Amino acid sequence: MSAGLAVNAASHAWADHRPNLRRLAVALGKRSYYDMPGGAGSYALDQAWHLGWRVISALIISA
C-alpha cells in the first residue's frame, strides 16, 4: 500500500507545480489546448493527469 500512496503523492506533487504540466503540453504539441481561454485546457489536463495516476496508484495498491 505504501508504494501506491507514494506514487500518488509524487505524481500530485509533480503535476501541482504548474510549469511541469505546461511543459508536458508543449512537448506533446498541445500548447493551444493548454492555453484555452479561462484556464479550461489547463484544468482539464490537470484533472486527467490526476485521474490517470489515481488509477495507477490503485493498481499498485491492489497488487
Question: Where in the sequence is the domain holding 52, given as residue range(s)?
Answer: 2-62
**15 with 49: CB under 8 angstroms?**
yes
pLDDT, tens digit, 9 for 90 and up, residues 41-60: 999 999 999 999 999 999 99
CA angle 24, 14, 49 (to 5 degrees): 60
The structural domain count of the chain equals 1
Using 50, 70 and 90 to split pLDDT, how confident is the model at 15? Answer: very high
Distance between CA atoms of 4 and 1, rounded to whole angstroms? 5
The pLDDT assigned to 18 comes to: 83
The pLDDT assigned to 42 comes to: 94
pLDDT at 13 over 90: yes
* % residues pLDDT > 90 (the chain): 94
